[in-house]
Structure formats: structure tokens, C-alpha cells
Amino acid sequence: MMKDIATPIRTKAILEKYGFSFKKSLGQNFLIEPNVLNRIVDHANVTEKTGVIEIGPGIGALTEQLAKRAKKVVAFEIDQRLLPILADTLEPYPNVTVIHQDILDADIHHTIASEFDDCEEIMVVANLPYYVTTPIIMKLLEDKLPLKGIVVMLQKEVADRISAIPSTKEYGSLSIAIQYYTEAKTVMTVPKTVFMPQPNVDSAIIRLLVRDKPLVNVKDEAFFFQLVRASFAQRRKTLINNLVHFFPNGKELKTEIEEVLGTIGIDGRRRGESLSIPEFAKVSDALADIYQS
């Protein structure tokens, strides 16, 4: 029986065999604790009916655990130096395909159509590089992929922001953007000691279950997200002050904006962080016409 890749001894042996050195620019931190990997796979509820997309497989530690349970795993790896290592470490798993491509450039709809036609559900499961976590998650959600969910390891601080609730310091436009599309829950905190090399911060595993339809129904999705971002532009400012800066000719429109907020029962003196997602939807729908006029 082959030992798990994700042990300190085996990881070191693989890295030495290939003379691999970590690239800080790619945010490479490899997991060296099999129990954590198994917990990730558990939280993703991977079964023999699941097709899994993995991002940044590294030397294949998580890929191996996914391959043992999933029907198929397709892993996107950006670092060419890792391809021969993955060919070696994942050789026992014929249900794994490695694609040498940046996930941000990938046509994932095409990948799903060509690779997962015999899978009943598709999950994204990954230990994400910290420097590019948010763009990756947003691409997965904005591309409207047929995913059941996303279970990823990321910086604990980012996980806290994603799953935050209104009137907390972590709550912001990122919380709203992701909760608009998914039910978000931080399911586990992971200490920095289980990585090689050790990052400077602790990590967390977050589970995002994709909603059948967005949390709120808005007239203009693009405007909704613009307005949300604007409402947090300066966190210490009131909603009305941020909106005045956001609107072209905002100063001239201030009274009108205040009146519109009043008609929908939103006090412009509140701060953006106090508004729930349904409240932001009301504000967005009420102000969309003024913004476009």
C-alpha cells in the first residue's frame, strides 16, 4: 500500500527527487496532513457519482484523496514544473486528468461538457493559492457553471469575510457577492503548521453551496453589484454619503436619493455594513432608474 503523498516525509522525498523549489509568486503551500485532506473531501461530500474540478493540485496530495472517492477529477495546474511530478504521483489513479492551464483563462463550461458527462454532480474542491482566491471564486460563480458547490481552503481572514453577516467588521461587498450566489459556511479552521512551507496566517475551509437561483431577484444585476461596492467604498461614511460619491452628479441628486431611500424605508444615515442583502436589493431596484437617467 502506497503511503499518502501528504506526509512530511513523502512530500520532502518527492520534492527532492524532482529538485522542486517553491515559487512564492504562485502562492505554493503544500498540505502535509492527510487528516485535513480527508476532512476537505468529507465536507465536499464527494462520492462515486461526483465529478471534481481541482485548482492548483501541487504534487497531488488532495488530488489523490479526491481520486479515491470521486468518479473523475480534473485538475488545473499553472506551474509546468509540477506536471512530471503529478504524472508520477497520480499514476495509480486513471480517473484523474491534469490540465496545464490557468483556471482564470479556462473555458470551464467546455471542460465540464467534455469531461463530466457521466457524472451526476460537479464540485470544485481545492487548496487555493492565497493571492488569487477571490478572482477564482468569482469566476466560478459569474460563469454560471452547473456546480453543486465549492469547497476550498483559503486564508482564514478571507473565509471570515465571505461568510460574514451584516453589522460585523468582516461583512462587505465580497460577503454579498458570494452569498448572492451561494450559501456560505466556514466549516473548519486549519493551522499554518500543516503546510510546507508554512504560510504566515491560518487557513480555513469554506463550503459554498450554489443556490438554484440568486438569493434576491434584482432588476439589474450589474448595477446591484456596483451599488454594493460603492456602499462600502468608505466604510466609515453613511450610505447616503457613499451613494452621493457613486452617482454622476451625486451632489445635485442628494435630495432625490434621500427621498427614494425614504420611500422604501431605508435610512440614508445608516452605514453600508448594516444593510442586509435583501435591503441592498431594494435600494438597487429603487435607484437604478435615477442612475441611468
Per-residue model confidence (pLDDT) at position 2: 63
Task: Return the CATH number at 277.
Answer: 1.10.8.100
* Residue 266 is assigned to a structural domain of this protein: yes
Q: Give the strand pairing for 72-77 and 149-155.
A: unpaired
Residue 121: which residues within 8 A CB-CB, separation 6 or more? Answer: 49, 50, 51, 148
Global pTM exceeds 0.85 = yes
Q: Cα–Cα distance between 87 and 96 in angstroms, integer?
A: 10
91 in the same domain as 156: yes
Q: Is the pLDDT of residue 1 over 60?
A: no
Closest alpha carbon to 196 in 25, 81, 18, 61: 61
292 burial level (CB within 10 Å; 0-12, 13-18, 19+): exposed
* Three-point CA angle 202, 104, 20, nearest 5°: 60
240 in the same domain as 204: no
Task: Return the CATH number at 176.
Answer: 3.40.50.150
143 in the same domain as 34: yes
Domain end call among 165, 189, 210: 210
Average pLDDT for residues 140-150, to the nearest whole number?
Answer: 96
Q: Give me the residues paired with residue 203 across strands.
A: 155, 190
Q: Cα–Cα distance between 92 and 197 in angstroms, integer?
A: 26
Q: What pLDDT band is residue 3 in, cutting at 50, 70 and 90?
A: confident
The total number of structural domains in the chain stands at 2
Query: Which structural domain, as residue segments, surrounds residue 274?
Result: 221-292
Mean pLDDT rounded to a whole number for the chain: 94
Percent of the chain with pLDDT over 70: 98
Chain segment 195-247, per-residue pLDDT in tens? 988 888 999 999 999 999 999 999 999 999 999 999 999 988 999 999 999 99
Q: Is the pLDDT of residue 28 over 90?
A: no
Average pLDDT for residues 23-28, to the nearest whole number?
Answer: 73
The answer to whether the annotation marks 38 as part of a ligand binding site is no
Q: Cα–Cα distance between 77 and 67 in angstroms, integer?
A: 16
148 in the same domain as 90: yes
Domain end call among 177, 210, 243: 210
The answer to whether the annotation marks 261 as part of a ligand binding site is no
The answer to whether the annotation marks 77 as part of a ligand binding site is yes
Per-residue model confidence (pLDDT) at position 292: 75
43 in the same domain as 176: yes
Closest alpha carbon to 272 in 229, 215, 221: 229
Chain segment 74-123, per-residue pLDDT in tens? 999 999 999 999 999 999 999 999 999 999 999 999 999 999 999 999 99
The answer to whether the annotation marks 29 as part of a ligand binding site is yes
CB hemisphere CA count around 150 (13 angstroms): 29
